[in-house]
Structure 1
Amino acid sequence: MNLLTVAVGIIQLIIAVIFAVIALYIGFSVFGKVTRDVDEQKELAKGNVAFGIVVAAIFVAIGIVVQSGVAGISVGISKASALGFTSVDGLIVIVVAIIQLVLGVLLAIGAIYLALNILDKFTKELKEFEELKKGNVAVALEIAGVIIAVALIIQSGVAGITAALG
């Protein structure tokens, strides 16, 4: 086993973990903006299963989309390794790969935010976030379904962007 290959793999893993944690934190923060007057952490702390379902769906959705960006950065680091990390071409490849990953994170969070706002507009007679606060699991499953469906659709777009930039 080549020591450089192992080092490149470790670098890829570290970058993936860092971006995953950042993406999940930002995603949870953006969810807080959508829910407006609800304290998500308080709801989770008191065992509100409905909120737990939606938060889990947000995390899964971000993971689905970000995975495409992480795949792009892995390919970029491998290419940069072949070109030489300190070469101009190697540095360009790494920068493009990081841009792909950041774009994936932004698209995931933006799409989820947009989907939740559109859902809120389409269902004026149903106040989803009030229902979540009451622990309405049926509404939580509806919202979770929308979030994950949007993520699956967006994921293919991020993969396409990754392929085009790579």
Structure 2
Amino acid sequence: MKFVNYILVLSMFLTFVSKAQAQYLTDFGINIGASNYLGDIGGKEMIRRDFIFDMKLSQTKPSYGLFFRHRFNESYGITTTLTFANIAGTDAITENPARRERNLSFYNTITELSTRAEYYFYTIHDVGNHGRYCVNFRPYVFAGLGLFHHAPKTKYQ
């Protein structure tokens, strides 16, 4: 739990630093998050549950990455991101007797490299009209390409 609190404080600090640097045309930073597997390995006591209700939160793994963004002008920009995510699943921790007897498990590191073009179609400076110019509203659309690599592995038990 101490690690989770450390990550939350770090992400809030990095968000603040990112906002402080947002006035420049080029910025870069890190992404920190969580990843989890939702599928037929592991899960809860039932055979199948819809949406996220079959997910085991104890299997949550870290996700992290780097990004680089350059804005050519007020309307156009490009962002490149490199992300690493870890996922895992195991039947050893499920309460479902059939899944536990099956005894499957895996772990996987996913690497993704993506680039996207961004078009900022509308800008409102100083949302709320407070005269501080610290909160902007800039909706945008984007299109891009991404490549990823993964190689699931298992351990014999």
Whether the TM-score (by the shorter chain) exceeds 0.5 is: no
Structure number with greater Rg is: 2
Higher relative contact order (CA 8 A, sep 6+): 1
TM-score by length of 2: 0.29
Relative to total residues, which structure has the larger strand share, 1 or 2?
2
TM-score by length of 1: 0.28
